[in-house]
Amino acid sequence: MQRFLQYINGVFEEGASSFESLDPASGQPWALMPAAGPADVDRAVRAAHDALHAPAWAGLTASARGGLLRRLGDLLSEAAPRLAALETRDTGKIIRETGGQIAYIAQYYHYYAGLADKFAGQHVPVDKPDMEVFLRREPIGVVAALVPWNSQLFLSAVKLGPALAAGCTVVLKAAEDAPAPLLEFARLVHEAGFPPGVVNIITGTGADCGQVLTSHPLVARVAFTGGPETARHIVRNTADNLAYVTLELGGKSPVIAFADADLDNVCNAVISGIFAASGQSCVAGSRLLVQRPLLAPLLARLCEKAAAIRIGAPDDTGTQMGPLATRRQQSRALALVRESVAQGAQLLCGGSVPDGFGGGFYFAPTILYCENSDLPCVREEFFAPVLSVLAFDTEEEAIAIANDSKFGLAAGVFTRDLARAHRLVRSVRAGVVWVNTYRAISPMVPFGGFGESGLGREGGAEAILDYTRTKSVWLNLSDAPLPDPFVMR
């Protein structure tokens, strides 16, 4: 059984305790993971706080910080096959996806490496002729970054990249489900040459690790990706340290297909949006809204394609869909499908655990037709390969259904009518809207949601500013003594 270590202050070490990680394809333990306790978390935060002010990091130029980030990106490209194999083993994501995705994540570090010396303060032309005022951008401080198991190297990059470019230091908590890729990623951080304490990588339970980290008095910034309930705990945890918080949360993203849309393109986009990564994506297109003339042909094509998806071992390059990451998620998906069918949803395909996979956490590609939006499968985020389909007649009805959700992370719009596409882009409440495509990303583009899909944005050039504080500097240019000291100037 493989054994992984946590990374604190430049040292690889055991945690306060350990726990087993299960292989989702078999349901059997395959590795021992370090569980950080409160003392470990405290040491990691204090190491980050000391490193924040130490000359080895604070004394670096912005260009030098960019050089370290560029080196990290290069190492990530080289290590992509090794990290992809680990992610596939620990999460069940298929190797054909993890390999390509991890190789692309290097671009995020290269992007923020290039931006490290491009953001700046500014001169302020104030209304006082004897004063010169300028603004400095300084690192906000120690950052607590918390990521879930799915796409964890990507979700870490959109936090580490801008944070390190801005000059912050970071304690990164990997999810206790499938933390292997991030614990191995620590070796790349070490090899890249970041000073001890600048990046610390740990994992552990919510109570002993996550809560202690987000409420720590030396943490100035919390960047979290995960579910809304955990996010509420984090917000409460920051009541004492008053840390600045950004939250990238769940989704129930609508894919809206109009009758004039290209059938093949819609079908491929829907398959990508809900069955890729076994539906375990925050932007999963789990609600399909179809204009009625397109409903029958699209459903027939989708059911045919869903039935043909090759389910298998995630490390097999021929596999198109692997297992879910945890037994807990498999059980939840099964229960929600059954509850939805009991309340009136029509099961068109799937809805069960496929045969022949032993104790693995597999779930069949599932499509449900729903007469209304009140069903659990339409309201709740599954994080599983379950698609809920609703019909609409008019553009106004499509917008109303799309916006009838507590979430607002992403949306897809499929139509050949450019004017209609622009109207939908304006009207649909979502932080990301894809038109005639789905699931596209770039380091240059901000990402985030509305409502219970979170607060703030990640990615893009402006993300660096969220990891800085503004310092206003006033210079008196006059040689004359200050006037009346009892009057504010």
For 228, the token pair is: 């809304």
345, 368 contact by CB (below 8 A): yes
94, 362 contact by CB (below 8 A): no
Map tokens 């055991």 to a residue: 14
Distance (Å, rounded) from C-alpha 124 to C-alpha 353? 63
pLDDT surpassing 80 at residue 123: yes
Classify 464 as helix, strand or coil: helix
Mean pLDDT over all residues of the chain? 96
In the prediction, which pLDDT does 217 show? 98
In the prediction, which pLDDT does 433 show? 98
Distance (Å, rounded) from C-alpha 487 to C-alpha 429? 49
Find all residues with CB under 8 Å of 65, minimum gap 6, and list them.
Answer: 116, 117, 164, 165, 167
Averaged over 191-203, what is the pLDDT?
98
pLDDT in tens, 163-194: 999 999 999 999 999 999 999 999 999 999 99
Averaged over 362-383, what is the pLDDT?
96
In the prediction, which pLDDT does 447 show? 94
pLDDT in tens, 7-27: 999 999 999 999 999 999 999
Classify 138 as helix, strand or coil: strand
Q: Within 10 Å of residue 236's Cβ, how many Cβ atoms?
A: 12
Cα→Cα distances 378→340, 345, 367, 372, 424, Å: 9, 10, 12, 8, 20
In the prediction, which pLDDT does 485 show? 85
Distance (Å, rounded) from C-alpha 315 to C-alpha 459? 30
pLDDT surpassing 90 at residue 400: yes
pLDDT surpassing 90 at residue 104: yes
Strands 219-225 and 244-248: parallel
Map tokens 């894809």 to a residue: 434
pLDDT in tens, 303-361: 999 999 999 999 999 999 999 999 999 999 999 999 999 999 999 999 999 999 989 99
Of 88-92, 223-227, 435-439, 479-483, where does mean pLDDT reach its minimum? 479-483
Distance (Å, rounded) from C-alpha 214 to C-alpha 489? 40
In the prediction, which pLDDT does 387 show? 98
In the prediction, which pLDDT does 27 show? 95
pLDDT surpassing 90 at residue 1: no
> What 8-state DSSP symbol labels residue 456?
S
Strands 386-392 and 407-408: unpaired
Domain 2-249+453-473 grouped into CATH 3.40.605.10:
yes
In the prediction, which pLDDT does 488 show? 84
pLDDT category of residue 482 using cuts at 50, 70 and 90: confident
CATH numeric code, 254-435 = 3.40.309.10
pLDDT category of residue 451 using cuts at 50, 70 and 90: very high
pLDDT category of residue 237 using cuts at 50, 70 and 90: very high
pLDDT in tens, 29-61: 999 999 999 999 999 999 999 999 999 999 999
How far, rounded to the nearest angstrom, does the alpha carbon of residue 259 sit from its chain's CA centroid?
33
The closest of 463, 127, 93, 133 to 312, measured between CA atoms, is 93
Distance (Å, rounded) from C-alpha 404 to C-alpha 137? 40
- The segment(s) of the chain belonging to CATH 3.40.309.10 are 254-435
Distance (Å, rounded) from C-alpha 451 to C-alpha 448? 10
Q: Within 10 Å of residue 346's Cβ, how many Cβ atoms?
A: 12
pLDDT surpassing 90 at residue 487: no
In the prediction, which pLDDT does 367 show? 98
In the prediction, which pLDDT does 483 show? 85
- The segment(s) of the chain belonging to CATH 3.40.605.10 are 2-249+453-473
Distance (Å, rounded) from C-alpha 466 to C-alpha 109? 17
Question: Which residues are marked as active site?
Answer: 248
Whole-prediction pTM = 0.95
Distance (Å, rounded) from C-alpha 446 to C-alpha 461? 8
Classify 204 as helix, strand or coil: coil
Question: Can you name the residues that pair with 387 across neighbouring β-strands?
Answer: 367
Averaged over 147-158, what is the pLDDT?
95
